[in-house]
Structure 1
Amino acid sequence: MRHTWRWFGPVDKVTVQDAAQAGAKGIVSALHHIPTGDVWPVDEIAKRHEEIKAGGLFWDVVESVPVSESVKTQTGDWRTHVDNWKETLRRLSASGIKTVCYNFMPVLDWTRTDLRWETRHAARAMRFDLTDFVAFDINILKRPDAASDYPEALQDAAARRFSEMNDAKIAALGRNIGAGLPGSADGYTLEQLLEKLRTYQGITAQKLQANLIDFLSEVVPVAEQVGINICAHPDDPPWPLLGLPRILSTEADYAYILDTVYSRANGMTLCSGSLGARADNDLPAIAERFASRIHFVHLRNVTRDEDSLPCSFYEDEHLEGGTDMVAVIAALLKEEKRRRDEGREDHEIPMRPDHGQEILDDVTRGAQPGYPAIGRLKGLAELRGIERTLLHAQYGMR
């Protein structure tokens, strides 16, 4: 696999040179300052390439070109936004980019209740606490009819939890849940979040799924023409939130979009952490089934408090948690060998160590939550160790 590292641009507290020293060979980045729905300017794309080259690496993967809420709901300027997305693909391809990640999560991107939760050994990790989330939904956001989405016992637990929260905890919970895309300056106040939720009234999971198929039917032909693989990132966490449907949460969800818009250019981002938050997602089996359509890989692990759905979980060390990382990497290496034997140019699958716990000096650096320097270096080293072992001549993965 090609070892990459997410970099949020010049504002990132972790530099491209740090990534190179950690063992990364390429960079995953995006133009977070460009408004969602706009075409990415050619000069801004070139500038990001130069910024990355100055640090000694190359821009391998775009994560992500955001899909606007207008496209997801098919309202407002959604057709213009689709056209702009296609033009951005053309410009990225002309600059040398061959892989573009995106997601189709309504309103909220990845969602956590705590961005720096203290683990058993005093590292800091991101956590989704279901009771805190329900307390936010019912008692802080006060979403109409929110209580009807939760069983009575969970409502009671959330009410008790809310009664114990001070003003600082309430404010932090609102900030954490209302945060925008990683690396962006976007985010929602409570009033803005409620307004965004209202724009999804009447949009069922089936309607959102149909809108995704419409989007893919437009952009995949362009991706084919310009030689780019686009890859959908799974929902995180992989279940409905705040009354909103989520449609990329399971193996069946991916089978539907990959079969309906059948093209090698239409693929998946295999995120072991996002999908791993559900006990019913078998990550090695998913990697095997969709191997030929996996264009980008995020490797991380989560530990679930329980296997019910939904549930609380936290982001564990890369080789801990509920996912068999050795089996997942073995499936990916098997696919790379198959692609090499076929002569495919995209035989090397870009992978990045996704997220990471803040350890050692990370706690003073103030990097983007989930994206520390040392915690990701540790994760990448562990993942590389598995890969190097499996590629040893004795094991026959070459």
Structure 2
Amino acid sequence: MRQTWRWFGPLDRVSIDDMLQAGVEGVVTALHHVATGAVWTPEEIAGRQRELSVMTDGSPSGLKWDVVESLPVSEDIKKQKGDWRAHIENYKVSLENLSKAGIETICYNFMPVLDWTRTDLAYRLPTGATCMRFDYADFAAFDIHVLKRAGAAEDFPEDLREEAARRFGEMDEERQQALAKNIVFGLPGAAESFTLEDVRHHLAEYAAMSPDGLRSNFIAFLEEVAPVAEKLGLRLCCHPDDPPFGLLGLPRVMSTEADYKAMMDAVDIPANGITLCSGSLGARPDNDLPGMMERLGDRVHFLHLRNVHRETGDIKGSFYESEHLGGDTDMVALVAAALAEEKRRRAAGRADWNIPFRPDHGLDILDDLNRKAQPGYPAIGRLKGLAELRGIVAALSR
């Protein structure tokens, strides 16, 4: 398993030097400053490669850009509106440019409007560490009383509506704004940031779209870009919904094993694959992560290894991001399944037998609490997670 680390570019408060000292083997990054739907040019790609190839003092880092995360899919493509055809053609050109630069693994997602959703970006644990959390009652308070989405109350059970109303009644304007900012934060480092009016506008455009409609648009996108990726020797890997259940009345199509199976069967070529994110998928109690790795592993091109603690047994419920070995996913069993898949690939002579993974997210601990890096991406918390994952790999490989 190839150890990688997500980096948000020169402004990331976790540096290339930090990454090297953590002992990683490759870099996961993207051109966050390029507008969604635009072409990633050879010059921009080469620029990012140069940036990660040197340490602060100018010494060679020895690191290379292993995985793109993410080459974003525009809202126009997801809705099949506006410039969606031009955006698909631009996506193909970007794939060609990445291939020429020697980058083979491209992560992306097909989540409408928001790339991920949390209600608290610095939830304090009893130890004093902080993490990201999704509180379903706080989310309901935002949806019903802050965003004031039409019909929102009907999406929540009565007891949750009552709790949401109670919490909203206790919020001052500053707390309401903070909650909205957390929920609309989206992807760290992205070129776009949404206002509440932006969110309302996008929600209105998705109002008539069913999950089947979004899935149809997803398959149409894959039918265009996956054959190009296959020809170029690239691996596309779709990240799951985060959290893996419906929010804001939006359709979700990548939340379960059945969703992934439908996507792979619809465009059944090796280039059309999976980012298996144990944290996102693990927020649902009915997702069996080790089993998914065993059954879908042939098309797993990238692994995000993190853990969550579910606060209820419901499909839709509150959760917080835990230590890598401390949540509800059996991380030892999942890593064992990944190592077994690598063994199968080596026996089959596959060039992609070494599956890249990264310690996804991490608790803010020690000096992380003052560093204020991207939410979910501390230096020491991720290093601790990586060390724990290395220990599992070493023990199972012994």
Give the shorter-chain TM-score range: over 0.9
* Structure 1: distance between partners of 2:22 and 2:388: 12
Q: Which runs of 4+ in 1 moved over 6 A?
A: none
- Matched with 1:25 is 25
How does 1:270-281 map onto structure 2 within 5 Å? Answer: 270-281=276-287
Query: Which residue identity is paired with 1:378?
Result: K
Query: Which residue identity is paired with 1:10?
Result: P
Q: What's the offset of the Cα at 1:189?
A: 1.3
Structure 1 gaps of 5+ residues are 393-398
How does 1:167-206 map onto structure 2 within 5 Å? Answer: 167-206=173-212
1:302 aligns with 2:281: no
* Structure 2: distance between partners of 1:182 and 1:41: 22
After superposition, the C-alpha distances for 1:41-67 in whole angstroms (9 at most, x for unaligned) are 111100101111113111100000000
Contact 1:179 1:186 in 2 (8 A): no
What RMSD in Å do the two structures reach over aligned CA positions? 0.7
Query: Which residue identity is paired with 1:147?
Result: A
* Structure 1: distance between partners of 2:227 and 2:50: 29
* Structure 2: distance between partners of 1:310 and 1:267: 26
Q: 1:241 aligns with which of 240, 247, 269?
A: 247
How does 1:207-218 map onto structure 2 within 5 Å? Answer: 207-218=213-224
Q: What's the offset of the Cα at 1:93?
A: 0.5
Q: What's the offset of the Cα at 1:342?
A: 1.2
* Structure 1: distance between partners of 2:191 and 2:161: 32
How does 1:1-398 map onto structure 2 within 5 Å? Answer: 1-55=1-55, 56=61, 57-392=63-398
After superposition, the C-alpha distances for 1:87-139 in whole angstroms (9 at most, x for unaligned) are 10000010000100000000011100000000121101000000000000000
SS in 1 for 2:206: coil
After superposition, the C-alpha distances for 1:315-340 in whole angstroms (9 at most, x for unaligned) are 00000110000000000001111111
SS in 2 for 1:160: helix
* Structure 2: distance between partners of 1:356 and 1:313: 15
* Structure 1: distance between partners of 2:186 and 2:136: 20
* Structure 2: distance between partners of 1:250 and 1:43: 38
SS in 1 for 2:274: strand
> 226-235 vs 184-193, which deviates more?
184-193
> 162-171 vs 7-16, which deviates more?
162-171
SS in 2 for 1:187: coil
SS in 2 for 1:351: strand
Tell me the TM-score normalised to structure 1 length: 0.98
SS in 2 for 1:309: coil
After superposition, the C-alpha distances for 1:181-200 in whole angstroms (9 at most, x for unaligned) are 22124221111110111111
Structure 2 gaps of 5+ residues are 56-60
Q: What's the offset of the Cα at 1:210?
A: 0.6
* Structure 2: distance between partners of 1:256 and 1:104: 14
* Structure 1: distance between partners of 2:260 and 2:3: 24
- Matched with 2:58 is none
Matched length: 392
Query: Which residue identity is paired with 1:335?
Result: E
* Structure 2: distance between partners of 1:35 and 1:96: 22
Contact 1:279 1:307 in 2 (8 A): yes
Contact 1:70 1:77 in 2 (8 A): yes
* Structure 1: distance between partners of 2:230 and 2:197: 41
* Structure 1: distance between partners of 2:394 and 2:49: 29
Tell me the TM-score normalised to structure 2 length: 0.98
Query: Which residue identity is paired with 2:305?
Result: L
* Structure 2: distance between partners of 1:151 and 1:336: 44
Q: What's the offset of the Cα at 1:26?
A: 0.3
